[in-house]
Amino acid sequence: MTRSLLSADQLPVHARRVRAMLVRWIPLLEARGVFMVLLASAVGAIAGTLVTAMSAIVQGLHALMFDVQPGGRLSGMFSLQHPRQAVVPAIGGLLLGMTFLWLKRRKFRTPIDPIEANALYGGRMSLTDTLIIAGQTMLSSGFGASVGLEAGYTQVGSGFASRIARLLRLRRNDVRILVGSGAAGAIAAAFDAPLTGAFYGFELVIGIYSIGNVAPVMTAAVSASLTAEMFGNVPFPLELSGLPDLTPSQYLPFLLLGLVGGGASIAIMYLVTMVERLFVRMRIDSSLRPFVGGCAVGLLSLITPQVLSSGHGALHREFAMNYGIAVIASVFVLKLTASAISLGSGFRGGLFFASLFLGALLGKVFAGVMAFVSPATGIDADVAAVVGMTSLAVGVVGGPLTMTFLALESTRDLTLTGVVLAASIMSAILVRETFGYSFSTWRFHLRGETIRSAHDVGWMRSLTVGMMMRKDVKLIPATTTLAEFRRQVPLGSAQRVVAVDGDGRYAGVLIVAEIHSEQTHPDSTVLTLAKFKDSVLVPTMNVQSAAETFQRAGAEELAVVKDFTDREVVGLLTESYLMRRYAEELDKARRDLSGEG
């Protein structure tokens, strides 16, 4: 079992020695499941350590740049210590722009995040990309840009997990599970919430919950959380006490809040895209956009520092204070603007925690409106904040169970389970049916990718038309008469023949039986009966694109041409064979994900 797991014959010398030592002294490692759990435990400990270190570095930058006192949070300050601190985000943007120039000159590719890696590349991630993203994220958040560190956390957790898995030459599905375990550990350590981290790995990075992945992912999450606690990482819990009992009549308003949160999440994703496109239209060089964005965020921070960084302190402050609806709404608008400007201008980070903060504000605004519209409903503002927090975050981040567990683990109140889960599901359904993307997959869509989740679709890209087509194609000139065709291609000798023009380019598909049964003048050319003249495949098409082409054309068999320009015929492919190969590969992928085989 271990030999197939580690591919010992292909391992580097030092890795083979480590493997031999492990197998000799720990016989249980011959069991793949036990090996993966132990490996995930180590990955979780690494993720917890890295998350703690990144958090400490950012807190150190906040103390240095903004005079944040030990134990305090930048976004929790009531005002900046000095107006000149408003230029700090612009300085951070300038430094970040310099990193963009350096990476451009070194010709670095676009970094791959855990979701993309698991969806397209079997979990393979670059450690260089990981370090770059982590550094840029710490720089962005450390200098006050309105972005969260969670993207950097999951990148380092998954990146190091992928590196370890590749060093040990694990099989494709095991690499994907370990990458998900790294991300799970990172989120668990960041929020002191093992269940949240585990379901983040299941829903967002691996793409499925199964018996085969539950043990390693859960182990990594618990290991990371314990490691972070050991290093004294500040936990996330929201201290909510004295919450009223929920009544059945309150569920309907909270379900409405779930829909409002889902709609708001879609609007936020569109807004970030609009800001990004605005920077492009302004023709500002990409290396200068973070500086411009930093200037704008700095100006907003003069109104309230709650717009700065991820918003941990601001969220706790909103739950601790009883602000009026006008103040809460203004903070919502300011934080939303700052986050959109930060991400749209190129600061590195994500909307994970910003969506939690914005959702909590939205929930409190909703409670205020309901108190005015329907006082008899009796909606508690803190409960509405928790429901709004999860509803909006589900739309932005994805993963209703992830956000539900985050709400429960952060509040330590299980009485909210039903209403939080119901509202999260409503938000998820609305976003999926009307928009179809989370923030991460929406960014992939804007880049031209078709990823909608972390399900492994990389095999679909490798299963191309060129691999499946038949090359023994019978060609005939399109000027051939029907009588001549019947002499050259007797009935039963072939089912289809491809017609080509005088330059050897594709002209259409000829159905042999139809031509033999046609009663038109025998001197007519076969071109008059050619089908699918404008529908062809090319060898580089993947199975999904080819299936869509068959569906549009309504054809059972299509010609394959070298390219769409010269249309030189190189093969034929039948829809039945295409779908059979697709079904075989899909069944294989499902067996791997479920731990079978």
Distance CA 204, CA 189 (A): 17
Is residue 203 predicted with pLDDT exceeding 90?
A: no
Same domain, 283 and 414: yes
- Calculate helix-pair angle for 352-373, 312-320, nearest 10 degrees: 20
Range with the poorest average pLDDT among 325-334, 358-367, 562-571 = 562-571
Helices 381-397 & 439-446 angle (0-180, nearest 10): 30
**Residues 220 and 290 occupy one common structural domain:** no
Q: Is the predicted pLDDT of residue 7 greater than 50, yes or no?
A: no
The more confident residue out of 2 and 508 is 508
* pLDDT over threshold 60, residue 592: no
- What is the DSSP pairing of strand 496-500 with strand 475-477? parallel
Please state the rounded mean pLDDT for residues 198-208. Answer: 87
pLDDT for the residue 462: 64
Is residue 595 situated within a structural domain? no
Name residue 296's amino acid.
Answer: A
The answer to whether residue 596 is domain-embedded is no
Span 196-205, average pLDDT: 90
Within-domain flag for 298: yes
**Residue 258 included in any domain:** yes
Q: What is the tens place of the pLDDT at every residue in 479-511? A: 888 888 888 888 877 788 888 888 888 888 888
- Res. 26: pLDDT tops 60: no
**Which pLDDT value is given to residue 541?**
81
Asked if 478 and 450 sit in the same domain, the reply is: no
| Nearest-angstrom CA–CA distance, 597 and 592 | 7
Q: Where residue 536 sits, what CATH number does that domain have?
A: 3.10.580.10
Residues 311 and 439 in one domain: yes
- pLDDT of the residue at 63: 92
54 and 109 together in one domain = yes
Q: What is the pLDDT of residues 269-280, one digit of tens each?
A: 999 999 999 998
- Last-in-domain residue among 409, 431, 456: 456
Give pLDDT tens digits for 321-335: 788 899 999 999 999
| Tens of pLDDT, residues 406-435 | 888 888 777 788 889 999 999 999 998 888
Q: Which of 47-61, 290-304, 543-557 has the lowest mean pLDDT?
A: 543-557
Looking at per-residue confidence, does 262 or 517 come out higher?
262
- Which residue, of 413, 433, 456, is where some domain finishes? 456
Is the CA virtual torsion 184, 190, 196, 200 positive or negative? negative
For 412, phi then psi, to 5°, come to 60, 30
| Contact call for residues 365 and 332 (beta carbons, < 8 A) | yes
The owner of tokens 């909608």 is 452
| Exposed e or buried b per residue across 557-566, where buried means at least 16 C-beta atoms within 10 angstroms of its C-beta | bbbbbeeeee
Which residue, of 456, 478, 511, is where some domain finishes? 456
pLDDT computed for residue 450 by the predictor: 55
The DSSP symbol for 349 reads: -
Amino acid letter for position 534: D
Alpha-carbon gap, residue 396 to 25, rounded angstroms = 47
**Residue 30 reports pLDDT greater than 60:** no
Q: Does some domain include residue 215?
A: yes
CATH number of the domain at 117, please: 1.10.3080.10
pLDDT of amino acid 171: 82
- Pair (313, 192) in one structural domain: no
pLDDT surpassing 80 at residue 523: no
**Looking at the domain assignment, is residue 239 inside a domain?**
no
Say how many domains are in the chain.
3
Asked whether residue 493 falls in the same domain as residue 388, the answer is no
Q: What is the pLDDT of residues 44-60, one digit of tens each?
A: 999 999 999 999 999 99
pLDDT tens for each residue of 116-125: 777 777 788 8
Q: Are residues 446 and 370 in the same domain?
A: yes
pLDDT at 31: 56
Neighbours of 196 (CB within 10 A): 28
Higher pLDDT, 523 or 179: 179
Q: Cα–Cα distance between 371 and 253 in angstroms, integer? A: 11
Q: Are residues 78 and 117 in the same domain?
A: yes
Q: What is the pLDDT of residue 456?
A: 46
178 and 43 within one domain: yes
pLDDT at 235 over 80: no
Identify the pLDDT of residue 12: 58
Q: Quickly list DSSP for 360-398.
A: HHHHHHHHHHHHHH-GGG---HHHHHHHHHHHHHHHHH-
pLDDT higher than threshold 80 for residue 308: yes
Domain that holds residue 517: 459-588
Determine, yes or no, domain membership for 450: yes
pTM to 2 decimals?
Answer: 0.77
- Tell me how far CA of residue 227 lies from CA of 232, 379, 490, 500, in angstroms: 9, 39, 76, 68
* For range 334-345, the mean pLDDT: 94
Does residue 444 carry a pLDDT above 70? no
As beta bridge partners, residue 350 has 148
Across residues 389-405, what is the average pLDDT? 89
Token pair listed for 82: 């000095």
Closest CA to 212 of 183, 164, 178, 187: 178
Checking 209-214 for CB contacts under 8 A at 24+ apart, the result is 210/593, 210/594, 210/595, 211/594, 211/595, 212/173, 212/177, 212/593, 212/594, 212/595, 212/596, 213/177, 213/180, 213/593, 213/595
Of the ranges 241-250, 311-320, 439-448, 517-526, which one carries the lowest mean pLDDT score?
Answer: 439-448
CA dihedral 285, 449, 272, 396 (to 10 degrees): -150
Q: How many CB atoms lie within 10 A of CB 24?
A: 9
At residue 527, the pLDDT reads 82
Helices (H), 435-573: 439-446, 458-462, 465-468, 482-488, 512-517, 543-553
**What pLDDT shows up at residue 4?**
43
Residue 557 pairs in a beta bridge with 574
Cα–Cα distance measured from residue 573 to residue 563, given in angstroms and rounded to the nearest whole number: 15
* Length of the chain as a residue count: 597
pLDDT value at residue 17: 63
Q: How far apart are CA 131 and CA 214, in angstroms?
A: 28
Q: What is the pLDDT of residue 101?
A: 92
> Position 271: which residue type?
L
User: Looking at residue 465, what is its pLDDT?
Assistant: 81
Same-domain pairing of 207 and 293:
no
- For residue 169, is it within any domain? yes
Q: What are the tokens at 246?
A: 């929920």
562: tokens are 């070298």
Average pLDDT over residues 527-549: 82
DSSP H/E element including 50: helix 32-66
Supply the pLDDT for residue 89. Answer: 96
Give the per-residue pLDDT at 22. 54
Query: Is residue 450 domain-shared with residue 469, that is, in the same domain?
Result: no
Give the pair of three-digit tokens for residue 328: 């809460």
574 - beta bridge partners?
A: 557
No. of helices (H) and no. of strands (E), the chain: 25, 5
Instruction: Say what the pLDDT of residue 250 is.
Output: 83
